[in-house]
Each structure stands twice: as structure tokens, then as C-alpha cells.
């Protein structure tokens, strides 16, 4: 269940690492970008909430059953935070769900592919986890392509009320 001792993971061009309080500027910049937030369940945070969140996530030492944790995606060349990966596990630690965001200036350069691939390796080291899933808005082409590129298969379609709008979500799953 513990995997924080496996971090950071260097997977060119990113460093997957714990988030830090010092990431607050970069974190707020992409989390406040409406294009990045468009299909995400999280809400924009103010600076105080972001600092508190980063402080909490800087102390992550493993999966938290029934809760989301977030890991930082840093640009390996500069150390700058450029996105994050969320991981949620069920209470039995058998099923995980992931979410991911990359700041617009870093998109289209393989950052999310590398970070999600490294996250899947971390989850594979947790013996009880059998399945990883990703849920994406049906209109979110980059997210769908990323999941399919990393071996996820579409296993369902669900209707959701999201940000005041009725929409279709695709459920993708991959054995772990
Ligand atoms: C979905 C999202 C995380 C993808 O991030 P990204 O870093 O741009 O993804 P990647 O760069 O790994 O892949 C995107 C493209 O870059 C291309 N690319 C360029 N260089 C690449 C490289 N070295 N390695 C892999 N892909 C590369 C890929 O071909 C890919 O193109 P395609 O999607 O047309 O096939 C990003 O669009 C995002 O943050 N969106 C907003 C948040 C969101 O909606 N998240 C999903 C909800 S869970």
C-alpha cells in the first residue's frame, strides 16, 4: 500500500513526485485555466485553500483508501510543476481510479502519457489492486486518446450531470 518511498519517478520528460507547498504559483496557474478545468470535477481554489491542499499532499505516504490523493507532474528539465495525477482507491484497495491534468504550455509533448504510465507502474506495485479506471467526458478527445494509448479499454458509458450540463462519460478500464 505504501509507495511514496518509490517517488520521485523519472520518466522522460517528467518527474512524478509529491506536491509541495512551493508549487502554489504553478498549481494555481493551471488549476485556474478554464480550458484545463473544463472536464474536471474539482473546483478552482483560492491561494489559502491551494496552500493547505499542497501541504496535505506533500505528506502523502501511500494510497488513502476511499480518498483521492494527488501527485505532482514536474518538468524534469526544470523541476517546475506542470500538472498533477489523482489516484482514488476503494476501501478494499482492489480498484483504483485515476485523473490527470497538464498545464496548457506543456500539453501535446508527452507529459501526461509519461506521468500516467509512471502512475500505472506505481499501482502495479500494490498487489491487491486488480483494476484501474479512468472516467472521461465523451467530448474530451485528448483524454480518450491518452487512455487508449496506455491500454485502457472502454467498458461503459454513463450519463452525468456535470457543471450544470447533462453529458455522457466514457468509463475506461485496464487490468493492473
Ligand atoms: C488530457 C491531458 C492531460 C493530456 O495531456 P498531454 O500532456 O497533452 O498529453 P500527451 O502530450 O501525453 O499526449 C497528447 C498528444 O501529444 C502527442 N505527443 C507529442 N509528443 C509526444 C511524446 N513524446 N510522447 C507521447 N505523446 C506525444 C501525442 O501524440 C498526443 O497526441 P494525440 O492525443 O493527438 O494522440 C490534457 O489535455 C489536459 O490536461 N486536459 C485538461 C484536463 C483534463 O481534461 N483531464 C482529463 C480528465 S481525467
Question: For the chain, what are the domain ranges?
Answer: 4-131
The yes or no reply on domain 4-131 and CATH 3.40.630.30 is yes
* C-alpha pair distances (Å), 106 with each of 10, 101, 103, 161: 17, 10, 6, 29
| Closest ligand 1 atom to Cα of 36 | 41
Residues 6 or more apart from 24 whose CB is under 8 A from it? 47, 50, 51, 54
Tell which atom from ligand 1 comes closest to the C-alpha of 114.
Answer: 12
Orientation of helix 24-31 relative to helix 47-58, angle to 10°: 120
Query: What pLDDT score does 41 carry?
Result: 81
- 3-state secondary structure at position 153: strand
Alpha helices in the chain (DSSP H): 24-31, 34-37, 47-58, 111-124, 141-149
Sheet containing 68-75: which strands, arranged edge to edge? 9-11, 14-18, 68-75, 81-89, 95-102, 131-137, 165-175, 153-162
Q: Determine whether the shortest distance from the Cβ of 117 to ligand 1 is under 6 A.
A: no
Instruction: Give, for all 176 residues of the chain, the pLDDT tens digit.
Output: 557 789 999 999 999 999 999 999 999 999 999 999 988 888 888 999 999 999 999 999 999 999 999 999 999 999 999 999 999 999 999 999 999 999 999 999 999 999 999 999 999 999 999 999 999 999 999 999 999 999 999 999 999 887 778 889 999 999 98
pTM score: 0.94
Q: Are 23 and 72 in contact (CB under 8 A)?
A: yes
Residue 106: what pLDDT? Answer: 97
CA of 35 relative to ligand 1 center, distance in Å: 13
Amino acid at each position: 500500500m505504501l509507495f511514496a518511498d518509490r517517488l520521485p519517478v523519472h520518466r522522460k520528460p517528467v518527474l512524478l513526485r509529491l506536491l509541495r507547498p512551493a508549487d502554489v504559483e504553478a498549481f494555481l496557474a493551471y488549476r485556474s485555466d478554464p480550458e484545463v478545468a473544463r472536464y474536471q470535477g474539482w473546483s478552482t481554489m483560492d491561494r489559502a485553500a491551494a496552500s493547505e491542499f499542497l501541504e496535505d499532499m506533500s505528506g502523502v505516504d501511500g494510497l488513502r483508501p476511499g480518498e483521492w490523493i494527488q501527485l505532482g507532474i514536474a518538468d524534469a528539465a526544470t523541476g517546475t510543476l506542470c500538472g498533477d495525477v489523482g489516484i482514488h482507491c476503494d476501501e478494499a484497495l482492489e480498484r483504483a481510479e485515476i485523473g490527470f491534468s497538464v498545464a496548457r504550455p506543456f500539453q501535446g509533448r508527452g507529459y501526461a502519457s509519461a506521468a500516467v504510465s509512471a502512475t500505472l507502474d506505481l499501482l502495479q506495485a500494490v498487489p491487491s489492486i486488480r483494476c484501474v479506471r479512468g472516467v472521461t467526458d465523451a467530448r474530451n478527445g485528448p483524454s480518450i486518446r491518452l487512455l487508449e494509448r496506455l491500454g485502457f479499454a472502454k467498458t461503459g458509458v454513463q450519463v452525468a450531470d456535470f457543471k450544470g450540463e447533462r453529458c455522457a462519460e466514457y468509463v475506461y478500464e485496464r487490468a493492473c
